[in-house]
Amino acid sequence: MANLDTTEKKFLRETDARILIDRKLREAGWDIEDKNQVSTEETAQAGRVDYILKDSRSRAITVIEAKRFSIDPASAKQQALSYAESINVDFIFLSNGEEIYFWDYKYRPEQKVATFYSQRDLEKIQNLRLEQKAISIIPVPEKYFKGGEWRIPRPYQKEAIRIMDKALEGSKRKMLLAMATGTGKTDVIALYLKRLFEAGLVNRALFLVDRIDLGVQTKEVFDEILKDYPSKLLYGGKQRDESSIIISTLPTLYSQLSLFTSGYFDVIVSDEAHRSIFGIYNAVLSHFDAIRIGLTATPSAYIDRNTYKLFGCWDETEQKGKPTFIYSIRRGIKDGYIAGYDIVQIDTKVSLEGVSYEGEDYNPEDLERKINVPARNEQVVQAYFKEEDKREPQKSRKAIVYAVTKRHAAQLAYYFNQAKPEHKGRFAEIITSDTEDPRGAIRRFKLEELPMIAVSVGMMDTGIDAPMVENLIMARPTHSPILYQQMRGRGSRLDQKINKKSFRIYDFAGVTKYFNDESYNPYSEIARAKAGIPWGTEIKDFVEEKIEVPAGFIQVAETAPENIDVIIKRAYVEVGAEGEKIDSDDYQMAWERQIQEFAQTEPLVRKVKEGQELSSDESKVLAEKLNSPKYYFNEANLREVYHYPPGTLDEFIKTALGVRELPTEEQLYEDRINELFEAWLIDKQFASEQVKILRLVKSQYIARRAPIEVSIFNEPIFQQQGGLNQILRIFGENLLKKSLSELNKNVFINGYTK
């Protein structure tokens, strides 16, 4: 029924639509056979009500007005309103089985939603309103406790809170905060969530993170600032308790989306999740009818149009994005709240020109991806120490190294440790997805004297709060402005314990040059030496003089590379601390063999095989066991070998056990298109006739896999709908062109998986 062709739906009756409505009610937890929960065809003063849903005390709480497929359910608003008012319920659902609208008619307009609300969702809204307060009367705290000390909110943090208050009071439910790394985004949102809870505006919150390690860090902050509102990390598996705040990665939440109704969360906060895979971010956000708050350290110039639209910050008139609140890195440096930075560009011959090996040329972008040059990596380490010795001989500073691959990271860590033999191999440590205890490794790096250097592949470029870091070493090229801003931000936090006011970027990969980044550091040793500025000059005086801070630039001569290793072009995965290359097929076979063995010996795997759901905590325990040095089985590696980026550990375990199959590329492609399309529809307000045409457009794209042009409406399948002239009358020329453009750019391209 759910996949009926548009032409078939045209002739279906309201009773057919009710079959879908019944199914969706069951999915939302309603027992439609229990008259204490659901009654149908009830006579009210205003007429016969299609459905009445009841609360846990069997009192009417909402009505559903059902319409046939060909009718826009929103057209029945007034009829449903008369029913709702006559039996004194607070909520209305309008549905034709395929589309659902939720109307909280005393407070806001109808909203298109993905699912019906559960009984608990509706009761939650009612209970919140019993003691709800205006958020403006909740005082901004004069201090808050974090990190073992009382802190005073900074002026710009208070400004951000007040601006969000005004947005909510103006009925805005979407906001975007663009705040530079190191300016306390997480503190601001924790303080704001506390206000939302205290005002009775929310009961359950979702916080989306890029990686579970960042979720752990976020939970530590929430446990202090929001200690009265328990938070829980979602590792996968079934959530056993009802926490006020759920912290999750996007793939984990996405894999469990069917477990949550559209009304489950009242507010969703997203921390840089718009960088995530396949555009599933839009599908997740659109699933929930909640306040949306986006957090990003990305400067507004680099935030894409889609992200602005997701958070209601795109100005169609000016064709420009306008974040709800902005606090830039330069403003933060000028105000003295974040560290300035110097750039030292170190170019080697191989970095500039690439390398030739056995008659084949490799350009600089191929380094460490297709070809490994140990001599270059050794020279990177030597050049770094040479510059550090010029700065202050024999002084070691905490540094993060951004490497290309796990093998590259292992090689760099080896040379760093060789250069400091007195530390017996503990000077540098590799932190990747295969690290047995990555959180423990990060904790050691942050809190203990050793390691001094963390060599990372994708684990420390975003979200890690490490104020003691004074140097960043760019050994990995990137053309992503968002990723570069994130990488640079790891050094921007101040640290009073070491009197840190600035940090250095050692750029061996031409990253800063690619983005035309210039040093911006009022405390720059390099700039002071060149400009003759005395060390004691105050920050405000220095900035007001508008003295430009030049980047350091060093060019290193390099001997001919040796020990070149060309990476075989067949599919492989790197595992372990040394970045050992394993054929992807071999890794997959080893995984499936190990899980099948565990099904006999490991109770948690046996539970999965028997069809039982693991709890979130059990999923965490199993994930840690599988990612031990003996196995190196983790989501990052498995996503790579199975070519399934949204996959979770639970899904890969079930696949290995034969309990389920991962979708084929064809299925994945169609599922992605359908999910993105439905999310796009929820964000729009198309009439029912328009939706029918657009669904047909989607089916034609899936069949053709080519951008859809207006000329398609002259083809026979659309002639059954009246052809181009009729479709133009339904949409209007401008809306039709705009809709096709958005579908091609935002739905169809994002859904393409190859």
**552 DSSP β-pair partners:** 344
Across 251-272, average pLDDT: 91
Select from 327, 198, 215 the least CA-distant residue to 269: 215
Q: Which residues of 720-744 are buried (b: 16+ CB within 10 A; e: fewer)?
A: ebeebeebeebbeeeebeebbebbe
Across 640-655, average pLDDT: 87
pLDDT single digits (tens) 123-176: 999 999 998 999 989 999 999 999 888 999 999 999 999 999 999 999 999 999
**296 DSSP β-pair partners:** 178
* Stretch among 263-277, 398-412, 493-507 having the lowest mean pLDDT: 263-277
Inform me whether the pLDDT recorded for 94 exceeds 70: yes
| CB contact at 8 A, 461 and 476 | no
Select from 105, 95, 80, 87 the least CA-distant residue to 18: 95
- What pLDDT does 597 receive? 93
- What pLDDT does 2 receive? 41
Across 602-612, average pLDDT: 91
- What pLDDT does 552 receive? 45
- Between 660 and 39, residue with greater pLDDT: 39
Domains 6-130 and 339-555 share a fold: no
Element (H, E) at 6: helix 6-9
Query: pLDDT-derived band of residue 7, with 50, 70 and 90 as boundaries?
Result: very low
Across 104-125, average pLDDT: 95
pTM attached to this predicted model: 0.82
- Kindly list the domain boundaries of the chain, sorted by start residue: 6-130, 135-327, 339-555, 568-657, 665-751
Inform me whether the pLDDT recorded for 546 exceeds 70: no
pLDDT single digits (tens) 320-335: 899 999 999 989 999 9
Topology, domain 6-130: tt1808, chain A (3.90.1570)
- Between 338 and 354, residue with greater pLDDT: 338
Percent of the chain with pLDDT over 70: 86
Q: Characterize the bridge pairing of strands 291-296 and 267-271.
A: parallel
Query: pLDDT-derived band of residue 101, with 50, 70 and 90 as boundaries?
Result: very high
pLDDT single digits (tens) 364-383: 566 666 666 787 889 899 99
CATH architecture assigned to 339-555: 3-Layer(aba) Sandwich (3.40)
| CB contact at 8 A, 487 and 515 | no
Topology, domain 135-327: Rossmann fold (3.40.50)
Select from 688, 683, 674 the least CA-distant residue to 68: 688
